[in-house]
Structure 1
Amino acid sequence: MVAPATPTAPTPELEALDLLSGDARAFLRTAWASHAHIHKADPGDVVGLLSLHDVDHLLTSTALRTPALRIAQDGSVLPSASYTRSATIAGAPLTGLVDARKVVELFSGGATLVLQGLHRYWPPLTELIRGLEAALGHPCQANAYLTPPGSQGFALHTDSHDVFVFQTHGSKQWEIHDDGEQRDVLMEPGTSMYLPTGTPHAARTQEAASLHVTIGINQATWRQLLLRTVTGVLADPAFDERLPVGYPEDPTGLAGTLTERLRLLADQLATVDTFARADDEGRRFLTTRTPVLHGALADRLSVTALDDDTDLVRRTGSVCVVRSAADGDHVLLLLGDRELRLPVRLTPALEFLREQPRLRPSDLADWLDPTSRLVLVRRLVREGLLQVSA
């Protein structure tokens, strides 16, 4: 894959949402989870996330494998055998390899190409998804749809999750139903559209090729949090006792005992430390994201040469959240895909570092001596939070 240029500053949390909505704060206040929202951005800003040239490159010049590609035609998903081949690398078999010639022929014959999970392997979308997740607190994923000229649209339907859709090549006419009213939306390069869960929408037959990216927002819900909370309480061995013998024929007796167990469960739920549970939920989200590590090999090679005057930058899309540890002797640094447990004396330096898009180790002189600050920044370069500036 072709990596983007080395970033010079971290992406602010709301920048990705600003790009797709126009005004992130206004969007969250007036449209999020309630209304459709249309925004027209500078086409160059959106097309650069995934152009037709990029899709051509992925399909014809890389070792893309299924299930990263799905192909549909005439309303049916084609078997992967119709567009893949086998190969070997160093004598080991390689299956599910996308056959570029077969894919091009199928596209020419009217098939729609679906690139799945692009946030896992296409850097511009990896960074966009990381920014959206930071802004929303919900897991996101990215797929792209390339449809040939003359392809059929899809019938009116709803999705079980929120989506952002943005057009990067060609155009497509959409029909959406919002607040009981039908709206016709022409998607052109630079146009983005937000559809909350359950919004009916359809796309019409088109005469030109079209490429759009769909960002699926996999909501974190109260149901999920409550289930995790209740499951934690149910770990009490008291709930592992067997049901009484003969319960199938004695529903009255079982109902009485069930009432007692529900009271016990309610009593224990009332003692749950809600702040601790909320903190755990945030930590879970902030340590299970997809790593963003482009440039990490070069950083590892240069880390030993770092000195007090080396220019460093925060890696684009990086997460840096500082939290106190329960033991009082440590501070937690949440990095998106992992958690570091560091001595509590580093807290002021980490809080300063968190706010800096770029810095030198010498900038930490107020809190750390030369040796300590070099140890810290070298660790953070190895962990992927910091990069040596280009």
Structure 2
Amino acid sequence: MIRSDGNGRPSLLAWDDLNEIVAAHRLQPPRMRLSRAGEAVPAAAYSILRTNRRGTSWYQPQPVEFHARLAEGASLVIDAIDQIHPPVREAATGLERFFRTPVQVNAYASWTAEEGFGTHWDDHDVVVLQLEGSKRWKIYGATRQAPAWRDVEAPAAPTGDPISDVVLTPGDVLYLPRGWWHAVSADQGTASLHLTFGLATQTGAEFLGWLCDDLRASVNVRADVPRFGTPEERTDYLAAVRKDVLATLDDPAVLDRWERSLDATHPGRPRLSLPHLTAVPAEPGITVRATAPRARIDQGDQGVTFAGAGNEWTFALPVAPVLRLLAGGTPATLANLAAESGLTLVEVAEVVSALFAGQAVAVVGNAS
């Protein structure tokens, strides 16, 4: 559910939400942190180390000190807020389904003109959504083509003036490609809150990593490297491996196979289904939802395959409408799935229970 911010605009995250999240969760550094001038503020500067009688320790934020550090110029960061705040999780899931790549959302709050992180770049694409107040973005562009998190060379720091200097206000969206240097500050005199949706990039390095695993089907790739062989043996070995690699790359469907593997093997967003433990009962009001936003459906003449959360199932063709409704991401009751597919309630429950056992579907409600 997405609430209104009081001015008719939808709000994924409001100040009250942020206050509740900090109070209700033990978010330890670096999951939650304060940053100033590109450096993490020591947790002891705004928290007290608590230890219970079982010996468990955690940093408990102290409001007065927490507020003071923010007023001095620090910025508040909560990583992966999509994992703990349902409205943000819904937005992240939608983007993941659209872009077909993992998405992580971080929350940032700032109060001063000080740049909490300095001028920096990210190793993934970023979609910024301004929620509250204003934020100035100075954008410098890239200094290295396609920089990566594991790279042979670090990008050089930018020089000169930014290529763009923009102020985001509530509802504004900004896209930053990976590698683009930027500096951010709340210099408009208002408290600022924004979300960054980090889109994992899929580079040639990731593709080649998958290709290495895929080539394990070849005995030449699985065989020992002739490290102590004769020059002729080493030459023959390289020729055999080269032949296998080139044959795979010559397959016009190889990128399709890789992309399908990315979607089908990703764990998605697992969710418990309590009180249901082993199966989904055949009750019309049971509401279920797919937990794998990038699940793949392949339909042939003899059946339909659903692949997601690291598993794959093949069903009879009449099950296809059920699978397509689930893959769309909208919660659905068993009664609705039965009505849309023409299957009986018991048949739908059997299909859903199979996906439930493979963590690709979760029970999210039970309308009486």
**Structures share a fold, TM > 0.5?**
yes
Structure 1: gaps (5+ residues): 6-41, 248-252
Contact 1:52-1:168 within 8 A present in 2 as well: no
Counterpart for residue 76 of structure 2: 113
Counting only pairs closer than 5 Å after superposition, residues 227-306 of structure 1 correspond to structure 2 as 227-233=209-215, 236=218, 238=220, 239-244=223-228, 253=231, 259-272=235-248, 275=253, 278-279=256-257, 281-291=259-269, 293=271, 296-297=273-274, 304=281, 306=283
Structure 1 counterpart of 2:350:
375
Give the aligned partner of residue 97 of structure 1. 59
Distance 2:345 2:22 in 1: 49
SS in 2 for 1:242: coil
Relative to structure 1, is the Cα distance of residues 120 and 43 closer, same or farther in structure 2, using a 3 angstrom cutoff?
A: same
Secondary structure of 1:92's counterpart equals coil
The equivalent position to 1:188 in structure 2, one of 169, 175, 178, is 169
Question: Quick one: structure 1 residues 178 and 63, their matched pair in 2 at CA, closer, same or farther if it must change by over 3 Å?
Answer: closer
CA distance in 2, matches of 1:130, 1:105: 35
How far apart are residue 360 of structure 1 and its match? Answer: 4.9
Given residue 373 of structure 1, which amino acid in structure 2 is its aligned partner? Answer: V
1:135 aligns with 2:128: no
Contact 1:59 1:98 in 2 (8 A): no
SS at match of 2:163: strand
Structure 2 residue identity aligned to 1:218: A
Q: In the superposition, relative to structure 1, how do residues 55 and 312 fare at CA in structure 2: closer, same or farther (>3 Å)?
A: closer
8 Å CA contact 2:283–2:345 kept in 1: the answer is no
Q: Deviations over 1:266-287 (max 9, x none)?
A: 2112443664773354244344
Q: Which runs of 5 or more residues in structure 2 are unaligned?
A: 143-160
Query: For the Cα contact (< 8 Å) 1:66–1:96, is it kept in 2?
Result: no
Contact 1:177 1:199 in 2 (8 A): yes
Out of 320, 324, 331, the position equivalent to 1:348 is 320
Please list the CA deviations of residues 271-311 of structure 1 after superposition, one character each: whole Å capped at 9, or x if unmatched. Answer: 436647733542443442442538x336779954714xx47
Alignment of 1:49-60 (within 5 A): 49-60=12-23
Q: Distance in 1 between matches of 2:291 and 2:267?
A: 14
For the Cα contact (< 8 Å) 2:141–2:179, is it kept in 1?
no
* Structure 2 Cα separation of the partners of residues 159 and 73 of structure 1: 18
User: Structure 1 residues 346 and 92 mapped into 2: Cα distance closer, same or farther (>3 Å)?
Assistant: farther
- Per the alignment, in what secondary structure is the counterpart of residue 350 of structure 2? helix
Paired with 1:127 and 1:360, the residues of 2 have a C-alpha distance of 21
State the partner residue of 1:30: none
Q: Which amino acid aligns with 1:193?
A: L
Distance 2:244 2:267 in 1: 32
2:295 and 2:327 in contact (8 A); partners too? no
Larger RCO (CA under 8 A, 6+ residues apart): 1
For the 8 Å contact 1:173–1:187, the answer to whether it is kept is yes
Q: Is the 8 A contact 1:150 1:208 kept in 2?
A: no
Residue 386 of structure 1 and its aligned partner are, at CA, apart by: 6.7
Larger relative helix fraction: 1
Q: Is 2:9 the counterpart of 1:44?
A: yes
Query: Kindly tell me: are residues 316 and 187 of structure 1, through their superposed partners in 2, closer, same or farther at Cα, counting changes over 3 Å?
Result: farther
Structure 1 counterpart SS, 2:239: helix
Q: CA deviation at 1:133?
A: 1.6
Normalising by structure 2, we get a TM-score of 0.73
Identity %: 23
Shift, 1:373, TM fit: 3.1
Q: Which runs of structure 2 are paired with 1:302-341 in the superposition (5 Å)?
A: 304=281, 306-307=283-284, 310=285, 312=287, 314=289, 318=293, 320-323=295-298, 331-335=304-308, 337-341=309-313
Work out whether 1:203 is the aligned partner of 2:199. no
Question: Are the equivalent residues in 2 in contact too, given 1:85–1:95 (CA < 8 A)?
Answer: no
Q: 2:197 aligns with which of 196, 209, 215?
A: 215
Q: Distance in 2 between matches of 1:346 and 1:68?
A: 45
Paired residues, what number?
334
Task: Indicate if the aligned counterparts of 2:33 and 2:77 stay in contact, CA closer than 8 A.
Answer: yes
1:87 Cα deviation (Å)? 4.1
**Preserved contact between residue 167 and residue 191 of structure 1 (Cα < 8 Å):** yes
Q: Contact 2:139 / 2:183 at 8 angstroms: preserved in 1?
A: yes
Deviation at 1:243, TM superposition (A): 1.2
Q: Tell me the secondary structure at the aligned position of residue 226 of structure 1.
A: helix
Using the alignment, how far apart are the partners of 1:360 and 1:304 within structure 2?
A: 9
Q: Of 30, 33, 52, which residue of structure 2 is paired with 1:70?
A: 33
